[in-house]
Amino acid sequence: MKKSMICALPVVLMLGAGSVLATALPDKAQEKSAESQAVQTQVDQTSADKAASQREKITKEAVAAIEQTQKALQALNDGKTDDALKALEAATGKLELILARDPKLALVPVNVDMVTYDLFASVDTVKAAIKEAKDLLDDGKVQDARRLMSNLASEVVISTTSIPLATYPDAIKAISPLLDKGETEKAKLALQAALNTLVVTAEVVPLPLLRSQHMLAAAEVLAEKEKRSEEDNQKLDNLLKAADEELKLAEVLGYGSKKDFAPLHEQIGKIKDKASGGKSGKGWFDELKSALKNLF
């Protein structure tokens, strides 16, 4: 296992307005709005920062403990019991060091992966796909519906693999007595079982919400600007519309309920009214930003 790994794998999912069956996706994705493309670098950076924040929790002792456990298992497979015992002793020492630092620690990360699923489709296209999936289910075509629905995600998934300190150290300590009794096969099974107890937790970051957040941040700067030009006014309007569209996409994809999103749409409408005629002001976005933050 690598000391720390972040695998950024963009998966582009495409749905066309004319054909929503998972087995007949179009060759070209529907284009993102100019506003969406403009904030993409910020979106990517925010996702990377979240993964990096998790990676910072990885300790060399935790990684070494896993490496030594794997080394012990390999040594047993090679018939090298003494080498296995040395590796188990090293793993135990690393785990004891971690617990000595923080006896209440439940999980200690050893690896972080990041995968991005980006959906290039409009709200109407997604709605059509959902309707098609429902029709397929009604017709008993469960697998066709499953394949179609599996495409309906727009998110970054940050997966963290951790050692469960409540069970893993004791499991490792229990191996040596088995080897002392000559029960090598039982020791192998116990080692593999210990490695299988590693805990994987996932943080899901909806991309439409993240894009909307960055769009609204840019819109807020413009809304506070006095004596905006016509170009500024148009840009502000476009940002608010694009942010609202991203929220609609997040809603139809199920990253919250209608009750969650209703006040967000309402707040954007109020901001549009306040900014009409080139008017400017501060604090207009406070309630909206707070409500959006709660959805993450």
Is this prediction's pTM over 0.75?
A: yes
Task: Count CB-CB contacts under 10 A for residue 283.
Answer: 9
Domain stop point among 190, 205, 220: 205
Domain range enclosing 267: 207-295
Q: Is 284 in the same domain as 237?
A: yes
pLDDT digits (tens, 9 = 90+) for 259-278: 999 999 999 999 999 999 99
Question: What does the alpha-carbon distance between residue 115 and residue 11 come to, in Å, rounded to a whole number?
Answer: 8
Q: Is 60 in the same domain as 174?
A: yes
Q: What is the pLDDT of residue 198?
A: 96
**Domains of the chain: total:** 2
Q: Where is 269: in which H helix or E strand?
A: helix 258-275
Contact 42, 149 (CB under 8 A): no
Q: Report the side by side order of strands in the sheet with 199-206.
A: 8-14, 107-120, 155-164, 199-206
Q: What is the pLDDT of residue 6?
A: 33
pLDDT digits (tens, 9 = 90+) for 89-115: 999 999 999 999 999 999 999 999 999
* Within-domain flag for 2: no
Q: Is 19 in the same domain as 105?
A: yes
Q: What is the pLDDT of residue 28?
A: 59
Domain stop point among 148, 176, 205: 205
Q: How far is CA 279 from its chain centroid?
A: 38
What does the mean pLDDT of the chain come to?
89
Domain stop point among 163, 189, 205: 205
Q: Is 72 in the same domain as 199?
A: yes
Q: Is 174 in the same domain as 47?
A: yes
pLDDT-flagged residues of the chain (< 70): 1-29
| Closest among 66, 7, 2, 4 to 197, alpha carbons compared | 66
pLDDT digits (tens, 9 = 90+) for 32-62: 889 999 999 999 999 999 999 999 999 999 9
